[in-house]
């Protein structure tokens, strides 16, 4: 029951403390063939960049650090966050405290570590942002002001992820092109449109090397941080543990998605793309689109006893305004983006990863908790 309760009520803080529990002792996961092939995008004759990752202990940051360290060296990738790291995060390279609301603190890090590139992951995600709008404004907007100004002052290349949540009910939903009406209805989406526009403005006005990818829902075995697409991760954890899952979205809610390995390949490839190939600074990227019903049917091929019920909550209203199918043809055309994982491959990989790395730990935690 412990794992189930944690996953059910997975707000940002719970997800994080749980992530700390299950992360410890876990092996490096990036094993995909694409990871090895990514080396071809690097100029080996050039000095490796020093990279600072903010919000690095979230769903994307830890895996991203592994990939970058593999390609640029452990010491050249500085992971940072405001939460306490597990041993694993400390073992593989530098980890430091960095609060994105503290401009002077960030300045000190950039100078002391001679940072060249900044990967800005800190954010409050869509569902969590709606629960605390003033905090989302501070983290997602004030924080962005700090890192972008810092990048300008110290001439850093800066990557800021955006999202399908940067679109809204007035946007075409199937497909959603790279440039179209946005007007999102969540503070998360509003802050991401702000980031996209400010980054483009700094690029045109000051020559800032701002790069931004709009990611769809990212699926990885790590418990996510409170987004609207989290069901596509939670079902693997709860489904494998309890053989049942209650979904907070309606069965026909179609959303764009991407497996973590593809998300990181896109990031890596885009970060290394020569400026002359970039016709714009903000690109849509995606791999697939599916509904909860389609995903669960695919999982049931491997786990026939899985029982799913539906109990839509406020996240349904958010999903109803988001793209169903994302048009990423411009990324494919300009810098050669290609995904590797479709839904079938994703399901196989998730079942294996969650089954091996998480379920035994949930079971151990449940045993311990039954004694207290």
Ligand X SMILES: NC(=O)c1ccc[n+]([C@@H]2O[C@H](COP(=O)([O-])OP(=O)(O)OC[C@H]3O[C@@H](n4cnc5c(N)ncnc54)[C@H](O)[C@@H]3O)[C@@H](O)[C@H]2O)c1
The only residue of 10, 118, 125, 354 in contact with ligand X, by rule CB under 6 A: 125
Closest CA to 155 of 120, 194, 117: 117
Nearer to ligand X, 125 or 150 (CB): 125
Q: Based on CB atoms, which residue is closest to ligand X, 14 or 83?
A: 83
CB of 57 to ligand X, least distance (A): 4
d(CA 264, CA 266): 5
Q: Is 297 in the site for ligand X (CB under 6 A)?
A: no
Nearer to ligand X, 1 or 77 (CB): 77
- Which residues are bridge partners to 52 per DSSP? 78, 118
What own/partner pairs with CB < 8 Å and gap ≥ 24 does 353-360 have?
353/29, 353/221, 354/221, 354/236, 354/237, 354/240, 355/240, 357/22, 357/26, 357/27, 357/29, 357/221, 358/22, 358/221, 358/237, 358/240, 359/237, 359/240, 359/241
Peptide bond into 175 cis (omega under 30): yes
C-beta of 277: minimal distance to ligand X in Å? 23
In SS3 terms, 309-370 reads as: EECCCCHHHHHCCCCCCECCHHHHHHHCCCCCCCHHHHHHHHHHHHHHHCHHHHHHHHHHHH
Taking CB under 6 A as the rule, which mask of x and - marks residues 50-79 in contact with ligand X?
----xx-xxxxx------------------
| Least spacing, CB of residue 361 vs ligand X, in Å | 19
Q: Which is nearer to ligand X, 168 or 217 (CB)?
A: 217
In angstroms, what is the minimal distance from the CB of 43 to ligand X?
26
Q: Indicate which single residue of 42, 83, 303, 359 sits in contact with ligand X (rule: CB under 6 A).
A: 83
Least distance from C-beta 183 to ligand X, angstroms? 18
Query: Is the CB of 276 or the CB of 281 nearer to ligand X?
Result: 281
Interface pick for ligand X out of 82, 137, 278, 303 (rule CB under 6 A): 82
Of the candidate residues 171, 176, 186, 229, the single one contacting ligand X (CB under 6 A): 229
Which residues in 277-296 contact ligand X (CB under 6 A)?
Answer: none
Among 77, 73, 72, 79, smallest CA distance to 56 is for 79
Instruction: Identify which of residues 233 and 308 has a Cβ nearer to ligand X in the complex.
Output: 233
Binding segment for ligand X (CB under 6 A), chosen from 80-88, 176-184, 273-281, 319-327, is: 80-88
Q: Please enumerate in sequence order all residues whose Cβ is within 8 A of that of 37, keeping only pairs 6 or more positions apart, or say none.
A: none
Task: In angstroms, give the least distance from the CB of 228 to ligand X.
Answer: 9
Picking from 286, 296, 298, 291, the residue whose alpha carbon sits closest to that of residue 328 is: 286
Residues 90 to 119 in contact with ligand X, rule: CB under 6 A: 98-101
Residues 176-215 that bind ligand X (CB under 6 A): 215
The span from the CA of 26 to the CA of 24, in Å, is: 6
The one catalytic residue in 188, 248, 259, 283 is: 188
Between helix 143-153 and helix 187-206 the angle, nearest 10°, is 20
Q: How far is the CB of 340 from ligand X (least distance, A)?
A: 17
- Can 113 be counted among the known catalytic residues? no
Retrieve residue 245's tokens: 């899952």
Q: Among residues 96 and 366, whose Cβ is nearest to ligand X?
A: 96
Query: Which residue of 163, 269, 289, 349 would you call a contact of ligand X, by CB under 6 A?
Result: 163
Does 318 sit near ligand X (CB under 6 A)?
no
- Name the residue among 331, 343, 319 with its Cα closest to residue 277: 331
Q: How far apart are CA 355 and CA 237, in angstroms?
A: 8
DSSP element (H, E) containing 290: strand 288-290
- Provide the annotated active-site residues: 188
Binding site for ligand X (CB under 6 A): 12, 54-55, 57-61, 81-83, 98-101, 121-123, 125, 139, 161, 163, 215, 217-218, 224-225, 227, 229
């Amino acid at each position: 029951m412990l794992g189930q309760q944690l996953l059910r009520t997975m707000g940002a803080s719970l997800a994080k403390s749980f992530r700390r529990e299950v992360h410890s002792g876990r092996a490096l996961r990036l094993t995909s063939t694409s990871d090895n092939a990514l080396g071809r995008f690097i100029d080996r004759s050039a000095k490796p960049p020093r990279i600072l990752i903010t919000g690095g202990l979230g769903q994307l940051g830890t895996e991203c650090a592994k990939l970058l360290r593999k390609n640029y060296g452990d010491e050249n990738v500085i992971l940072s966050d405001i939460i306490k790291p597990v041993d694993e995060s400390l073992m593989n390279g530098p980890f430091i405290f960095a609060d994105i609301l503290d401009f002077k603190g960030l300045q000190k890090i950039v100078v002391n570590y001679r940072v060249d590139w900044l990967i800005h992951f800190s954010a409050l995600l869509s569902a969590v942002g709606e629960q605390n709008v003033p905090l989302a404004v501070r983290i997602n907007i004030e924080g962005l002001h700090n890192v972008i100004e810092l990048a300008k002052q110290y001439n850093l290349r800066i990557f800021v992820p955006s999202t399908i949540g940067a679109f809204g009910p007035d946007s075409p939903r199937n497909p959603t092109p790279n440039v179209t009406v946005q007007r999102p209805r969540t503070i998360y989406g509003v802050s991401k449109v702000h980031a996209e526009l400010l980054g483009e403005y700094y690029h045109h006005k000051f020559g800032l090397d701002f790069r931004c990818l709009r990611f769809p829902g990212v699926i990885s075995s790590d418990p996510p941080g409170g987004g609207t697409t989290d069901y596509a991760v939670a079902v693997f954890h709860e489904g494998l543990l309890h053989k049942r899952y209650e979904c907070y979205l309606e069965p026909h809610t179609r959303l764009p998605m991407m497996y973590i390995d593809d998300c990181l390949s896109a990031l890596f490839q885009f970060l290394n793309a020569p400026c002359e190939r970039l016709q714009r600074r903000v690109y849509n990227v995606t791999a697939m689109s599916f509904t909860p019903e389609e995903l669960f049917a695919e999982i049931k091929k491997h786990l026939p006893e899985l029982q799913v019920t539906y109990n839509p909550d406020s996240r349904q209203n958010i999903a109803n305004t988001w793209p169903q199918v994302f048009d990423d043809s411009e990324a494919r055309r300009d810098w050669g983006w290609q995904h590797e994982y479709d839904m079938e491959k994703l399901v196989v990989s998730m079942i294996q990863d969650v089954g091996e790395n998480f379920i035994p730990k949930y079971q151990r935690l449940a045993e311990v908790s039954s004694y207290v």
